[in-house]
Every structure is written in C-alpha cells, then in structure tokens.
Amino acid sequence: MREWYIARAKERILPRVVKQARELGVSFGRARIVDSRYRWGSCTVHDNINLNWRLIKAPIFVIDYVIAHELAHLLEPNHTPRFWNIVNIQVPTVDKARDWLKEHGQILEEEV
C-alpha cells in the first residue's frame, strides 16, 4: 500500500510543484517525493524541493500550502513577514491548511 501512495504522490504532487513554481516565477533544482517522519516538506541549500509522500492523503489545499511554503523558501530562506506574504499570496487558505495539519497531521503518519 505504501508504494501505491508514493506512486500517487509522484503523479499528483510533483506536477503541482512545477505549476506553482511557474506561477511564483521561481526555478528549483529537483522535486522529489521522500519518506520523512518529521517534515511535510523541505527546501535544500541546492534549491531542491522534497515533499513527504504522506501528503497524498491530505486534502489538495493542504498539499498546495506545503508546496507554496517550500517554494517560498527559494525567495526568502527564513520565516520572515516577507516569507509569509509570499505564501499567503500563493495560497489564500494558509490558516485553514495549517490548522488542518495541526488537527489531522498525525493521521497522515499512520502506518499503511
């Protein structure tokens, strides 16, 4: 089942990274679906975007928030007001997505 989720994440999430990067006007090195236990996503010093495969079990507005969050780091590495302005412009449902992750994030981490 885990491999099925990973395959779906690659199919559905990675194209959204490309789309959002284009909309934001940024380029990234590589986007990957990863198996991370403690992060939903990350942006590396080499401008690579890593996204947790477990996100595929979340609503699309949550996935879009995590993507926007990581892409915003390409423009602003720290969680400054400028960073949050970038994220808010990309995803108007930031608060809803963050609340959803706080409330339901543990469900995504359950073993499959």
Question: Residue 56 is part of a domain; what is its CATH number?
Answer: 3.30.2010.10
Q: CA 108, CA 59: separation in Å to the nearest integer?
A: 11
> Which positions ≥6 away from 53 have C-beta within 8 Å?
2, 5, 6, 9, 33, 34, 35
Query: Which residue range is the domain that position 88 belongs to?
Result: 2-108
- Of 36, 42, 74, 72, give the one whose Cα is nearest residue 54: 36
- Of 21, 4, 15, 5, give the one whose Cα is nearest residue 58: 5
| pTM of the predicted model as reported, rounded to 2 decimal places | 0.94
- Of 28, 23, 39, give the one whose Cα is nearest residue 73: 28
Domain count, the chain: 1
Tens place of pLDDT per residue across the chain (112 aa): 889 999 999 999 999 999 999 999 999 999 999 998 889 999 999 999 999 999 999 999 999 999 999 999 999 999 999 999 999 999 999 999 999 999 999 888 877 6
